[in-house]
Every structure is written in C-alpha cells, then in structure tokens.
Amino acid sequence: MIFCPEMHRAYIGLGSNIEPEQHLRAAVLELAKLGDIERVSRVYESKAVGDPDQPDFLNAAVLLRTDQTVEELCESLRQIESTLGRVRDPENKNAARTIDLDLLLFDETVLSLEHRRIPDPDILRRAFVAVPLSEVDPEFVHPETGQTLQMIADQMIEERFGLNLSSSLLIDV
C-alpha cells in the first residue's frame, strides 16, 4: 500500500518594495520547492501602507498545492523570507521589505494562529491582496463571507482602491 499525503490548496500573497522584481521571482522559485504551483497572478503595483515615503510595492498571489500543514507552511514561508533577506522590525511593522509572504487561505480552513488569522482579513480590506488572489482562483468561495474571490475583487475595483497592473513584470514558473 502506498501512502499518499493529503494535498492542500494554499493561497499565498507576495509583496516587495526592495528590489521587488528580483525578490518576487526568487520567492516564486522558493515556493515551487514546497509543492506544485498551480497558478501565479499578474503583478500589481500599490502604494506602501503606513509610510508614504517608501517605494511602491509590487504584489502578486500564488496558488500552491502542498502536503504541508498550516503550521509547517507558515514556518516555511518565514524561512523563505529570511533566506531572501527579510528583516522584521518590531518597532515598524510597515517597514520596507525584500519579501513578504502571507498565507491568505488554506483550503476552506478558518482558524487563528499565534500571529495569523486564516482567512487573512486583508483579503476583505486591501485591493493589493484581493485582486491578485482573485486571478489565481476566481471561483473559490471565501469560507467566511460566502463570496467568490472574484466578487470580492470586483467590489474593491469598483470602489477604486489604489492599484495598478505592473506591466514590467510577469512571473513564470
């Protein structure tokens, strides 16, 4: 008998405003080591939250099939951030960063971990999270609101949240 671990759908948000093109590409390559990347969104440009003097961010989303648990995946994401030079500043949570990897959704799971809530509340608050996320699985139903990711993104676009498609970068897997 062959044991086949359960595969999960993990939806990961990516953001960078320090050499963002290089770091987004590197992050996608690292994520590919954790499972099978099914889809990668286009890249969007957004203003930095909390510090208007920072460079703009580039944001994207990835749909990853993985056999890791939520806890294992969160740890793997932190390790990738560290590998790519992310330094967490406890005094400034909005500091510039080489890479930010957030587990946004994990299957239909709803849970609270020590420093993370799944689904990530920013899906409903930030266009730079919702719009790329909707590109990787538009028909996925948010487990708390009952709305599809496309519906959530459309509502954000309709309300004209500041977000621009970045034509400078496409990430291939």
Domain ranges of the chain: 8-120
Low-confidence residues of the chain: pLDDT under 50: 1
pLDDT of residue 48: 85
pTM, to two decimals: 0.89
Amino acid at 77: L
Q: Are 66 and 8 a contacting pair, CB within 8 Å?
A: yes
Residue 98's CB is within 10 A of a number of other CB atoms, namely: 21
CATH number listed for the domain at residues 8-120 = 3.30.70.560
Query: Mind listing the pLDDT tens digit for each residue in 54-79?
Result: 899 999 999 999 999 999 999 999 99
pLDDT of residue 95: 74
